[in-house]
Amino acid sequence: MVYTGKPSRGCGMCKSRRIKCDENRPTCGNCKKSARACPGYPDDFDLVFRDENKAMAKKARKSSGTTLSSSSPGRSSSHTSPHLSPSSVSKVSPGENALPGEIAFPGEIAFPITTTPPRTPSEPAQSQQILALLNNTTPNFPLKETFDFDTFIWNLEHAIPPTISLAPECEAVPFFFKNFITLPQQAESTRGYLEYLVPLYNRARPSSVLHLATTAVAMATCGQYPGRQELLREAVSTYGRALKKLKDDLKEPAMSKSDETVLAILMFSLYETIMSTDDTITAWGNHVDGAVALTKLRGMEQFDDPMSHAMFRAVRTMMITSCVQRSKPIDTFPGTQGWIGQGDISEENAANRLTLICIDLPNLRARANVLTTTPYNPAYEAEAKQILDFAQMVDGNLEEWYRTLPPEWKHRIIGVVSDVIAPDEIALAEKWPGEQHVYHDVPLASIMNDYRVCRIFCRRVIMACVTWLSFGGRFADGDVAWDKSVFVIQMMVDEISACVPFHMSYELQPVAKEMGQEQNAAEAFGGYSLVWPLYVAANAETVPQEQRDWLFARLSVIGTRFGLNSAQVLVLARRHVLTCGPMFP
């Protein structure tokens, strides 16, 4: 306790008249003689603690280097302020009279607030927020009011700091959902798995493998931003815990076949794509293979539930992507119609029809690679012609798919660049000469680029077979097939080049603005969805060298702008999704 001297026990009237009170009860003698109404005597408890609070307030001001002078205007101690109870205090928020970094209380008194940075594990446990008077600021008290320490302490304990230190996932997960989980604008474009993350995430428990996988992906995504690299360490830790949780879930038959588990495994593959290192290539393929294995175990029953059927389509799409990348034949699905699932291909939406058209492309590429990497042998001519005919059939189906699309799916021409790029300016040119295209949104543009990539693959298979057959002599119709392939590939590459500014510019993406996407996130989403098409286009043998250099330069720009080195860009390209939408970042 702080001793403040013997308190005066006189009545309020004698105190105001500065005369000695005889302290008679119930009315003092001075008030009786002067015919004044005696206001009574103060309660002993309130009297003692009011004086002690004043002393403590003075001590607090001294400890912070601030002294309230009794001679300063508006700081006279001859007036006491009315006691403010907690119920009479308005909601704590920065007032219009408060300076930045201060809390405003009733009576226009502003008290500064300071916060300490989040503690590290090596620091002793302590409060994450410290409220204190700053030693360079003297609170301004209004005239006729003094410092009320009770009120100050109550507000101090109940104040809400203007900034609160949140756990990393509390910031990363909402940012990830807002800026990267872009729902399709049209039902016909639904084909991937991220469209179903929101409902399954909300359905799952906070401790579930899906929540952990999503958190790891979100922190890995945000960790790619400049100055946020510390989130990558958190992402790795969370990813490890998610893998451990998955291992436990797979021991339970019901949980191992759930939609939640399948989606979590697909999120693991997305995590490996985001981290983009050479060590993640095998892990990415293993995650896709794991999702395929679980989908096969789920059998035909999964077609009875709309969500499970949607997850089947998503895994099917990822499987095709993985098999194309690795030139690996597709596993058979234990159903009457195989990976077509249930129903007819005509009942699928446009995006899934593209997937089903390409479902034989991995097997086609695998067969062509085996054949064309061996010396010519007349015994295998029939095999070469069969592969050639099959590739032409798939290419024809792709062309028919494009022809039957609704007009809103196709590009709009917003300009034509006629200037020729000087050789020394190719790396800096944002646009390739020719038409400039825009689309409804980036996901739709990505589907169209996947169509072009598939046609490039088909035509490259055709050219490889024609070249192999030509070693046995003149091949009938070989020149026609070759010339048409060169023409189709160049057309596809030109159309990919024409949409590069759309993907990379926030100003050309009105839907992203309407959805409230952050500019950097929207451009990253568009840029990363270009990596695979640019990589395929730049590696097409018949593309002019100048255009090839420009395409590789755009890949370099994407890497530089979004924090990837050239090796990471190439790794990302090799594992980019072919027919299920962009992978990011």
- Asked if residue 573 has pLDDT above 80, the reply is no
Q: Which of 179-183, 285-289, 326-330, 397-401: highest mean pLDDT?
A: 397-401
Overall size of the chain counted in residues: 585
| Distance in angstroms (rounded) separating the CA atoms of residues 177 and 181 | 5
| Distance in angstroms (rounded) separating the CA atoms of residues 242 and 145 | 59
Average pLDDT, integer, range 456-471? 92
Residue 352's nearest CA partner among 342, 364, 362 is 342
* Residue entry with tokens 């085996």: 370
Q: Which residues pair with 375 in a beta bridge?
A: none
Average pLDDT, integer, range 181-208? 74
Q: Which ranges in 327-436 belong to alpha helices (H)?
A: 350-357, 361-372, 381-403
- Write out pLDDT tens, residues 69-79: 444 444 333 33
Model confidence at 435, in pLDDT bands (50, 70, 90)? Answer: very high
* Residue entry with tokens 């302590």: 126
Model confidence at 154, in pLDDT bands (50, 70, 90)? Answer: low
* pTM for the predicted model, two decimal places: 0.61
- Asked if residue 466 has pLDDT above 70, the reply is yes
| Distance in angstroms (rounded) separating the CA atoms of residues 488 and 125 | 66
Amino acid 71: pLDDT: 40
Ramachandran bin of 209, using left for φ above 0, alpha for ψ from -120 to 50, beta for the remaining angles: alpha
Residue type, position 359, single letter: I
- Asked if residue 552 has pLDDT above 80, the reply is yes
Amino acid 180: pLDDT: 73
Model confidence at 192, in pLDDT bands (50, 70, 90)? Answer: low
Tell me phi and psi for residue 247, to 5 degrees: -60, -40
Model confidence at 237, in pLDDT bands (50, 70, 90)? Answer: very high
DSSP string, 409-449: GS-EEEEEE-PPPPGGGGGG-SS-SEEEEE-S-HHHHHHHH
| Distance in angstroms (rounded) separating the CA atoms of residues 169 and 239 | 12
Residue 177's nearest CA partner among 165, 187, 169 is 169
| Distance in angstroms (rounded) separating the CA atoms of residues 483 and 218 | 46
Least confident range from 56-60, 379-383, 401-405: namely 56-60
* Residue entry with tokens 């839907």: 511
Least confident range from 233-237, 341-345, 380-384, 530-534: namely 341-345
Query: Within 13 Å of residue 118, how many CA atoms lie on the same side as its CB?
Result: 8
- Write out pLDDT tens, residues 421-433: 898 888 889 999 9
Percent of all residues in the chain with a pLDDT value above 70, rounded to a whole number: 69
Residue 191's nearest CA partner among 584, 475, 499, 577 is 577
Amino acid 544: pLDDT: 94
Amino acid 258: pLDDT: 92
Residue 53's nearest CA partner among 116, 99, 7, 117 is 7
Residue 183 tokens read as: 């729902």
Amino acid 84: pLDDT: 34
**pLDDT, mean over the chain:** 74
* Residue entry with tokens 């899934």: 352
CB 551 within 8 A of CB 538: yes
Q: Which of 166-170, 478-482, 555-559: highest mean pLDDT?
A: 478-482
Amino acid 344: pLDDT: 66
Burial 301-312 (b: 16+ CB within 10 A, else e): ebeeeeebbbbb
CB 555 within 8 A of CB 510: no
Least confident range from 257-271, 397-411, 461-475, 510-524: namely 510-524
Residue 118 tokens read as: 């989040």
DSSP string, 483-544: HHHHHHHHHHHHHHHHTHHHHH-GGG-HHHHHTT--HHHHHHHHHHHHHHHHHHHHT-TTS-
